[in-house]
Amino acid sequence: MPNAQDVFWFKSQFQPAIEKAIAGTPFSVDMIAAFACQETGEIWPALRRQGLPTSRILELCVGDTIDASATGGGRRAFPRNRGELVQAGQGDRMFEIARQGLVDMAAYIPAYRGAATRADKFCHGFGIFQLDLQFFKTDPDYFLSRRYADFDTAVARCVGELKSALKRIGWQAKTTLSDPEMAGVAIAYNTGRYDPAKGLKQGYFDGTRYYGENYHAYLQLAKGVRLPAAEATPSRDARALPEVAKIARKAARKAAERAKKSAEAAKQTARTAKTVGSGKKAGKAEKKAVQPAKHVVKRTKKAVTRAKKVVTRTKQVATPAKKVAMPAKKVAMPAKKVAMPAKKAINAAKKAASARKRAVAPARKAASKSAKKTRGPTVTAIAKRAPATKPASRRA
């Protein structure tokens, strides 16, 4: 089921188109977002989490495979089953599209795989707002041309149907709607009617709650997710990230570049160590070899510190769903993925630091050996080699 991050994604992808479609109506972006959650909330969030591009997600937003039953239950509207659909004009083409849509969608949504194995099963709802197949008789091209997969077309059609529902329940003069009234319009869209006396307990009953109750809950969820206009993007196949996450990625990339330069400096230090001479020259060479390495280690430690700060800031971007109403800059879609470049930078920096230590060791060792050869034996060494003598006796 949809959560706050799913709603954030939905708004980041479609808010500009929704605002254009609802202009001059009492509807809101939150109302439309809640409607998408209610109608296809078991589909598009799952597809989004699997990394599918937005255009493909819209194509796979199909559902409702319930047919009429032999006992008189189930679906009552056209088409009640495959036989009734194929008997209609161009019904055979429509069945192929509805059938293939079910098969394609079920490849990603396990709950529909059982229905997909039955040859007569097909989808009755199309698009992220689930326009019912009963409209095939009056507007077959909408389904046959798969116009439901174009969001601008789908949301325009959705708003049109909501206007019709608003008129059916006598609210066409309203310029604003309360939350319960928005739920009432959604119920009228779902069932064709709305009884104010029953409140939210109307529409399809899923065994726990009514359609109206579920819609109202999604409306509250949508209202808790605020998306500034600057964050909305018309590029729908790009996964929209908050600006702060982009800054974190940029900082992590710079840290990785610094670590790479440190590694190159370590290699140069190692080459210097191999050419170290003996005696005093060795001591000078050691200092020259050690000094750059120390600077490199120092720079590496700073790079590690910066990278860790980047990771910390990035992790703080992903706020809990309950606090998603906070500024959108504190919302990170996939915080773990954003933090990965920084973690890689830390690992690269640590490897560079190890390389510094290995590069310095040969130079120190060579200098130590050379110093021993040039200075000659120490006083301690001479004392050790001298023959032992007994002290003179005090007796005459």
Across all residues in the chain, what is the average pLDDT? 79
CA distance 59 to 151: 10
Strands 131-132 and 62-63: unpaired
Q: What pLDDT score was predicted for residue 59? A: 98
Q: Where are the domains of the chain?
A: 4-231, 243-373
Q: Which residue has the higher pLDDT, 345 or 49?
A: 49
Instruction: Please report the pLDDT score of residue 278 as a whole number.
Output: 46
Exposure of 81 in the CB half-sphere (CA atoms within 13 A): 10
pLDDT tens track for 195-247: 999 999 999 999 999 999 999 999 999 999 998 754 555 555 654 344 444 44
φ, ψ (nearest 5 deg) of residue 131: -70, 130
Residue 353, Cβ neighbours under 10 Å: how many? 21
- Could you give the CA distance from residue 333 to residue 13 in angstroms, rounded to a whole number? 13
Query: What is the rounded distance in angstroms from the CA atom of residue 202 to the CA atom of residue 213?
Result: 8
By three-state DSSP, how is residue 373 classified? helix
> What Cα–Cα distance (Å) separates residue 236 from each residue in 150, 340, 388?
11, 24, 92
Token couple for 212: 């109206």
Q: What is the pLDDT of residues 354-389, one digit of tens each?
A: 777 777 677 677 766 765 555 555 545 544 454 544
Summarize pLDDT for 25-51 with one digit per residue, the tens. Answer: 999 999 999 999 999 999 999 999 999
Tokens 């088409």, residue located: 79
Residues 6+ apart with CB under 8 A from 167: none
Residues 6 or more apart in contact with residue 19 via CB below 8 angstroms: 29
pLDDT value of residue 237: 60
pTM over 0.75: no
Distance in angstroms (rounded) separating the CA atoms of residues 261 and 253: 13
Specify the range with the lowest mean pLDDT, choosing from 15-19, 278-282, 340-344.
278-282
Q: Is 72 left (phi over 0), alpha (psi -120 to 50) or beta?
A: left
What pLDDT is attached to residue 323?
45
Of 16-25, 72-81, 283-292, 314-323, least confident by mean pLDDT is 314-323
- Specify whether the CB–CB gap between 133 and 108 falls below 8 A: no
pLDDT at 270 over 60: no
Q: In this predicted model, what pLDDT tens digit does every residue of 105-144 receive, in sequence order?
A: 999 999 999 999 999 999 999 999 999 999 999 999 999 9
ω into residue 53 within 30 of 0, thus cis?
Answer: no
Residue 254 falls in which region: left (phi positive, over 0), alpha (psi -120 to 50) or beta: alpha
Q: Which of 247, 248, 250 is nearest to 311 (CA)?
A: 248
Q: 277 falls in which pLDDT band (50, 70, 90)?
A: very low
What residues have CB less than 8 Å from 371, skipping those under 6 apart?
Answer: 279, 282, 283
